[in-house]
Structure 1
Amino acid sequence: MRRETSLSIIIIFIVSFAIYSNTLNSPFHYDDEKVIVKNESVRDIKDFQKIFSSNPSRPVSTFSFALNFWWGKLNPFSYHLVNIILHCLNGVLFFLILRITFQGDILVLVFTSLVFISHPVNTESVSYISSRSGVLCATFYLLSMIFFIIFLRNFRNTGASGLKQTGFYLTSIIFFLLSIGSKETGITLPLILILYESCFSTSIDRRGFLTPSWRDKNVPPIKLKRINVIHYKLYYVPFFVIIGAIMVLRRYFYGTLGNPTFHRDYYKNFLTQANALWAYIKLLIFPVNLNIDHEYFLSGSFLEIKTLLSFIGILILIFGALIIYRKCSEIAFSVFFFLITFSPTLLIPLQDILSERWLYLPGIGFYLFLALFIMLLQDGYRESYHFSKGGKGGLSVIGILLILFFSILTFSRNEVWSSEALLWRDAAQKSPHKARTHNNLGVALAKLKLYNEAIKSFKEAIRIDKHYSPSRANLGRAYRKKGEKSLMLQEAVALFESGNYYFKKGMIKEAIISYKELIGLVPNSVAAYGNLGMLYMSLNEMKLAKECFENVLIYNPKNEAAKKILKEINEGN
């Protein structure tokens, strides 16, 4: 038994490293600049306060980047190595959960874990360094599950709580905290634990596709007295107390339970993500046309045919899982695992509408469902609950071919991450109507000093959205690099007009971005500083407003309006 487990773990590590070995020398990409390269808070591993305050919602992830910086400075190799190790570890943890839960053939468990390790949809989570938050969250999430399962097994079999059981329980809670500290998705864990107990550790004598490994078939199930059930469920209370405390702290730090830096109508987001759920399932089943920046549009009404069909499909999925629960609780668990871990995206608006990295944890439910589905195809499985020799052979062939296919797709997809230009050229081809993909391709080309090609990309982004400020600013910088000052000034004027456009529309955040981009292009723009200062005043950001009007006076000392506003700000303080 131990030898088989050890060999399985070694196989998982080898396959994972082989698949992702071609990412070790890939550069930093996109958000990596903000999260790591230009993030001063990760420079000093001893400054815990600075690390925590830089991103209070994900301090554990930020600390992991600080550890990386201490180890390898800004060498991407060390960051990629850590991501790959975490992905390997998650494959092993997933395998161990299956191992302690199911009594099926070990080939099934290894196969399921290798599907998770090799699935192409996980490339963004592993190859994109700043996506580590999701991978690290999954690591602590699965560790917490393992220790809770061990605690649950001992507690339900003995009905007593000793020092050992308490240790398992407290360790589970600690990993739960670390999971939430890595990414907010960790908050779903208590629901998954309740679901796990319901599906795999009940007092009802049921036969499923697989038998829990701690349940001896010759020993009758433990019968819990009805009066004790409530007492047994008290071990979930601390998990929910922690969630409540985190919500209070989040409200204190950010002033909101949602995303503090981005706002979208909750209703539209809910409708859109209900549609996107089926796009995610499609990516899990057919992992092709992977893209760092998918082109997906907001839903406007529940009565849209696509949205209506999506909700009908979700209801069928939920009711189907509930109906099948009594006969096949394992399948019900896999379905609800996917839906529950996906739910934060459904409820909390984020800037991206569809992102492959958000599938990293929910995908585990799909991989388990896939394994169970293949089990159903085995000859004689329903009768013996074990695989016949023919069944093993069939599973081996199907499993090897599927894992080999996924591995090739993943290795090939990783090549796109070898350079920024390749990554964003791929995105621009697959999302041709999205301004951001063309802008980011232009930025990558400009870094290679391919200014003519970069200008084409920036112009294409502006053609799609004429008020897209980053492209206006980047186009101006490209003209400046080429010495074409008059064209650069044209873009500066366009940026000012975009800022005014957003200001009139009440889109304050977009207006601020436009004026900031203009200042980056033309540092002595008095008009931009003045308008930016007024925007900050409307947000009651008096310190930032004061800095803006002080800059107005640096470039125009005789500006009476700026002097008057500064006087009012100083008197107000």
Structure 2
Amino acid sequence: MKRTAPRRSRRAETGSLLVLLALTCLCYADSLRVPFVYDDSLTILEDPSVRLQLPLSSVVKLNPFRPLLVLSFLLNYRYAGLNPFSYHIVNSLMHFFNGALLFLLLRRLVQKPTERPESLYALLAACIAVAHPLFTESVTYISSRSTLQATVFILLSLHLYLSFCEVGRVWPWVGSLLAFLCAAATKEMGAVAPLLMALLALWRHPRLRRAWMGLVPFGVLFALAASYRAYVFFRIEYTTLPRSIASSILTQLAALPTYLKLFLAPVGLTIAHDLPTASQLMSPGLLVGLCLIAAGAGAVIWSWKRRPLPAILLGFAIVSHLPSSGIFPLQEAITEHRFYLQGLWLCALTCLPALAQAPRLRTVSAVVLTAVLVCFTGMTIARNRVWQSEEALWEDAVAKQPTSARALSNYADCLRLKGDFRSAANFYVRALESAPGNLDYTVNLGISLASAGRAADAEAVFTSARKLDPRSPKPLVNLGNLCAMRRDYACARALWEEAIVLAPSSYEARVNLAMLYRDVLGDREKSDALLDEARRMDPVRALDDL
């Protein structure tokens, strides 16, 4: 009889994991047909580490902060090329692993003497996490693998650290440290793992010496990595920040109500959320965000002894939100995939009524949560259908955020690429109304006008673009293209040469000039020299273009 209970437990655990796997397949089957979209071109199609299949040492040198992420893309490319199917398979499996790790971790956490162990609670929480529509972007958007992969290692590190605290053996500690390093080598959010472990130690083993001593190496590595990352970010990567650090922190506090709204009622999901920069302490969104943070921290402190499990889950959610708190100002103020890890903890928190002592309340809670799960599954399937093409994705974004310059411009890009130049020009005009003076929108408007046969209007737009940024080669390259269309090759040559003088790294100017020397001027030697220079400047683009 003593052996029967563990066997039943293992069978129930295996059955629960199979349920999670089946639910993942159901929710994300349609994602397997989604093409590369948006920044996938930067992270995969144009990344030399991936496309050129560089050795591991070169991958680490080119990507010192996310080498494991790039390595996963490199392995995808090596075995499946540019077929998005395999990339989506990996993303979906990582999402399943996160659901499974959350399920196993919750089973361990509820087995405290003060909590009633219920496998049903852990399974419901993990299922809702797997099926939650807010996480669709994290899974279906291939470039969001960084979040999925880092979360796998963070949860694994927590599991192993908990084992170290319980049994005292060194190997779980070593495994936890390695998992933390893997999380940090995947994405900067991996740095929260030691903070989560500290909360776990304070909650489960507040007086256990080895639990705290085991965290010392984590803390040292965390401090060194965070300091170096901040130095590189502010001194090298972003010499001009999209917004000040103070403004970014205020903006992210103002974004918190939006994140929670999307978590509790996942409607209006879009790839382009329009959130204004917060610069005043008295703005309504910022005040709500501050109140939410204060209320959350107060709830953790109040319930730490009274309700330990809700306290630790809410504490995990608050700490997990720190990487998105605005310390590093990013171009996009709010994106759905940034709420993935904290969303997992909130899924576990909102399912706590399934642990109620009263059987009737527990049953009602399970029924309600099951209904929510069914609803979320349908919403996630529907959301994945929006991702079936980049045009549909940005059309959906424009419908939900009609004044978002980013949504309007990207939708215009899709229309331009499919040959609908007049419609594309109209949407570029709308994008410029929301973001006046944007050079890229202006240049793309000119390209659309030229492609629609409105050469005079295009020339006027390119001329105005030169005034916006006299140092940019883009207006010169496109003015040269207009000259070439008119067969004014002397003008085209002069403009492209001027673009190269202005920006010696201009790939487009060199390629255009090389084609002119080869096809019009008959100078094959000069053409080959320019093409060789272009290949050295951008070998990835040269793979597709030359």
Q: Is the structural similarity TM-score above 0.5?
A: yes
* 1:326, distance to aligned residue in structure 2 (A): 1.3
Q: Contact conserved, 2:146 with 2:187, CA < 8 A, in 1? A: yes
How far apart in 2 are the matches of 1:526 and 1:50? 38
Deviations 1:295-315 (A, max 9, x none): 110112113344234323321
Match of 1:84 in 2: 92
* 1:548, distance to aligned residue in structure 2 (A): 10
Q: Contact conserved, 1:20 with 1:411, CA < 8 A, in 2? A: yes
* 1:354, distance to aligned residue in structure 2 (A): 1.0
1:438 aligns with 2:446: no
Alignment of 1:380-399 (within 5 A): 380-381=357-358, 388=359, 390-399=360-369
How far apart in 2 are the matches of 1:50 and 1:42? 11
Letter in 2 for 1:154: V
* 1:348, distance to aligned residue in structure 2 (A): 1.8
3-state secondary structure, aligned to 2:466: helix
Alignment of 1:441-480 (within 5 A): 441-480=411-450
Q: Contact conserved, 2:45 with 2:51, CA < 8 A, in 1? A: no
Alignment of 1:79-478 (within 5 A): 79-103=87-111, 104-155=117-168, 165-202=169-206, 229=209, 232-247=211-226, 249-250=228-229, 254=233, 256=235, 262-346=241-325, 347-375=327-355, 378=356, 380-381=357-358, 388=359, 390-478=360-448
3-state secondary structure, aligned to 1:153: helix
Q: Contact conserved, 1:439 with 1:470, CA < 8 A, in 2? A: no
How far apart in 1 are the matches of 2:399 and 2:61? 38
* 1:5, distance to aligned residue in structure 2 (A): 0.2
Q: 1:100/1:73 Cα in 2 relative to 1: closer, same or farther (>3 Å)?
A: same
Q: Contact conserved, 1:23 with 1:417, CA < 8 A, in 2? A: yes
How far apart in 1 are the matches of 2:217 and 2:368? 43
Q: 1:373/1:279 Cα in 2 relative to 1: closer, same or farther (>3 Å)?
A: farther
* 1:51, distance to aligned residue in structure 2 (A): 1.9
> Which of residues 2, 7, 10 in structure 2 aligns to 1:2?
10
1:28 aligns with 2:8: no
Q: Contact conserved, 2:194 with 2:218, CA < 8 A, in 1? A: yes
How far apart in 1 are the matches of 2:245 and 2:450? 41
> Which of residues 68, 72, 75 in structure 1 aligns to 2:76?
68
Q: Contact conserved, 2:194 with 2:215, CA < 8 A, in 1? A: yes
Q: Percent identity?
A: 26
What are structure 2's unaligned runs of at least 5 residues?
A: 1-8, 112-116, 481-491, 517-546
What are structure 1's unaligned runs of at least 5 residues?
A: 156-164, 204-223, 382-387, 501-511, 537-542, 556-573
Q: 1:373/1:520 Cα in 2 relative to 1: closer, same or farther (>3 Å)?
A: farther
How far apart in 2 are the matches of 1:326 and 1:259? 44
Match of 2:485 in 1: none
* 1:55, distance to aligned residue in structure 2 (A): 2.6
How far apart in 1 are the matches of 2:239 and 2:13? 44
Match of 2:6 in 1: none
Q: 1:190/1:525 Cα in 2 relative to 1: closer, same or farther (>3 Å)?
A: farther
How far apart in 2 are the matches of 1:304 and 1:459? 30
How far apart in 2 are the matches of 1:200 and 1:260? 44
Q: 1:526/1:369 Cα in 2 relative to 1: closer, same or farther (>3 Å)?
A: farther
How far apart in 2 are the matches of 1:120 and 1:261? 35
How far apart in 2 are the matches of 1:81 and 1:304? 43
* 1:463, distance to aligned residue in structure 2 (A): 2.2
How far apart in 2 are the matches of 1:532 and 1:259? 25
How far apart in 2 are the matches of 1:12 and 1:100? 18
How far apart in 2 are the matches of 1:397 and 1:185? 35
For structure 1, which segment, 257-266 or 304-313, has the greater mean C-alpha deviation from structure 2 after superposition? 257-266
Q: Contact conserved, 2:194 with 2:219, CA < 8 A, in 1? A: yes
Length, aligned pairs only: 487
Letter in 2 for 1:10: L
Match of 2:529 in 1: none
How well do the aligned residues superpose, as a CA RMSD in angstroms? 2.7
Q: Contact conserved, 1:26 with 1:418, CA < 8 A, in 2? A: yes
- TM-score, with normalisation over the residues of structure 2? 0.83
* 1:468, distance to aligned residue in structure 2 (A): 1.6
* 1:137, distance to aligned residue in structure 2 (A): 0.5
* 1:43, distance to aligned residue in structure 2 (A): 2.5
- TM-score, with normalisation over the residues of structure 1? 0.79
How far apart in 2 are the matches of 1:23 and 1:370? 27
